[in-house]
Amino acid sequence: MKQITKFFKRSEFACQCGCGFNTVDAELLFILNWLREYFGEPVTVTSGCRCVAHNAAEGGAKKSFHLTGKAADVKVKNVPAREVFEALAENFPDEYGFIEYSTWVHIDSRETKYHKGLV
């Protein structure tokens, strides 16, 4: 599928149910590109866009940012989730949503700050 930034293809964000939903927010792409440049390592999107049905199947929040293409769950190669979370929180202290899980980090481009350590 089409390359949408230097580091990411649209297909990486497609809803995993196969419905075709793959609209990605530009601000989210900005954060993910920054993350790739910061660590110099590939960023893998483990969950991007989600349709309502797939979000429910995943147990996602009813107002999940994944539903609008404004969220991605990611892993950075060779970098622990804690380090990824800390880098995001330190470099974007007053904005966006970052939630640390044991092996991955949720990132969303919400307009207000929401930073939550290990869940």
Residue pLDDT, tens place only, 37-59: 999 999 999 999 999 999 999 99
List, for residues 71-104, the tens digit of each pLDDT value. 999 999 999 999 999 999 999 999 999 999 999 9
Q: What domains, with CATH codes, occur in the chain?
A: 10-116 (3.30.1380.10)
Q: Round to whole Å and give the CA distance between 100 and 88.
A: 10
Average pLDDT over residues 9-17: 97
CB-based burial label for 100 (10 Å; 0-12, 13-18, 19+): buried
Name the band, by pLDDT with cuts 50, 70 and 90, for residue 119.
Answer: confident
**pTM above the 0.85 mark?**
yes
Reduce the DSSP state of residue 97 to 3 states and report it. Answer: strand
Residue 107 C-alpha from the chain's centroid? 4
